[in-house]
Structure 1
């Protein structure tokens, strides 16, 4: 794949937009993965490159949650290790699939991930006491299972972590969001390390895209109240439709 100036600018814009959307409504991975595929990046490298860029970009949000004491810190060590283990195995499994097939798997999984995110996004419970029965087993299962999904594919994993923490551990939505960031970044980084071991990361694109993602998150956080999550999520769906049509043509028609 030739990295031209136009390709680099397209990726930077895509990751900035993804970071902007993610900070308000979530769903950055639904933009970054197909964007990298569209420039001709091999599927495994698209996943590995996206993992590195988004994990760096999300550190800003994690630091904000941590400073504001909006993370359930006592479960972070176990959750992070579990998520990293699951993500490493998920990425390893992805590397066992040939590139052409993996590209089609990604295209098929994108709408399924979007559908599940939409169906669970409005699911809310009242905050309660932490469950006493099998508490640490729940933490480990959340980390391993969703971590595996993050490593194998990824888009929507942050939302899935948030929902799982809220539903199965009874943590409040805001604290679940902060804690989910810790789990998600750990899973992203572990997956990146696995893809990197298979030479499936393009650092020339990942680093500038990471900076763009950080800037997008920063700008999005500033405009969150003015714009509102509903409007941004509608824009996300429009972008996704365009990307999906392009990917279906690329992997199922043109090939």
Structure 2
């Protein structure tokens, strides 16, 4: 099938298509790393370079989705502006540590958290259907700051499920699924940017592979974010459940079998 494609071009072409699918999924509910990270690892890059190259592509997808959500006024600008740099700096710390410390021991914790999120969404069927958020003050704002700090660090350090946890946090604060997804895209962009700067500074990025996937990410994120905005909260909730189950299956397979 690929005989007509020069061997030096085959990997970038495959990464483009992986980025396309990852950008589509990630722009709606997160979880695109399930597609893009394994694809980047298959290139035989060292793991830290594969992660850095994936960050390079992911930031384009996150930026594209973020712009589309902002244009359609599906983002609480006042709130995410306060949380942006908290997420940005905490992701830089996480990215620095992942180059030094293998994050394997975190997998059981991630599996437990994803199961908790999934059960909460499945059994509270009306949760996230209507936005009840008014203003982040007092205890609610402190919780949102803690969320931005911890998830930013987590995204820089290991990453799987970041979009899911961000959306869950914003729904917990009172947003519906669509607005939570829009807010999550802004903080996801912040965490991608912070961690990418660390990977670049430490020379852990393959620019050819990263930018090849980035083109696909831009196209996929454009299609996905527009579809999410057009179809609304119910669609985002459905994709959220599907991707959470997919992440759980992948992580459990890696931990117990792989």
Structure 1 residues 19-28 or 51-60, which shifts more?
19-28
TM, length-normalised to structure 1: 0.78
Asked whether 1:163 is paired with 2:168, we answer yes
Partners of 1:54 and 1:210 within 8 A in 2: yes
Asked whether 1:29 is paired with 2:15, we answer no
- Of 7, 21, 31 in structure 2, the residue corresponding to residue 17 of structure 1 is 21
Give the structure 2 partner of residue 85 of structure 1.
89
1:196/1:69 Cα in 2 relative to 1: closer, same or farther (>3 Å)?
A: same
CA distance in 2, matches of 1:176, 1:14: 25
> Which whole-Å deviations, capped at 9, do the CAs of 1:182-234 have from their partners, x for residues lacking one?
11101111000011111111111111211111112233456665xx6758976
**3-state DSSP class of the match of 1:4?**
helix
**3-state DSSP class of the match of 1:40?**
coil
- Of 146, 150, 156 in structure 1, the residue corresponding to residue 151 of structure 2 is 146
Q: CA deviation at 1:18?
A: 1.2
* Count of matched residue pairs: 241
Matched ranges for 1:201-212 at <5 A: 201-212=205-216
Q: CA deviation at 1:7?
A: 1.8
Q: CA deviation at 1:8?
A: 1.6
Asked whether 1:40 is paired with 2:9, we answer no
Structure 2: state its 5+ residue gaps.
1-6
Structure 1: state its 5+ residue gaps.
none
Give the structure 2 partner of residue 178 of structure 1.
182
1:22/1:120 Cα in 2 relative to 1: closer, same or farther (>3 Å)?
A: farther
CA distance in 2, matches of 1:35, 1:131: 39
CA distance in 2, matches of 1:163, 1:236: 11
Q: CA deviation at 1:77?
A: 2.4
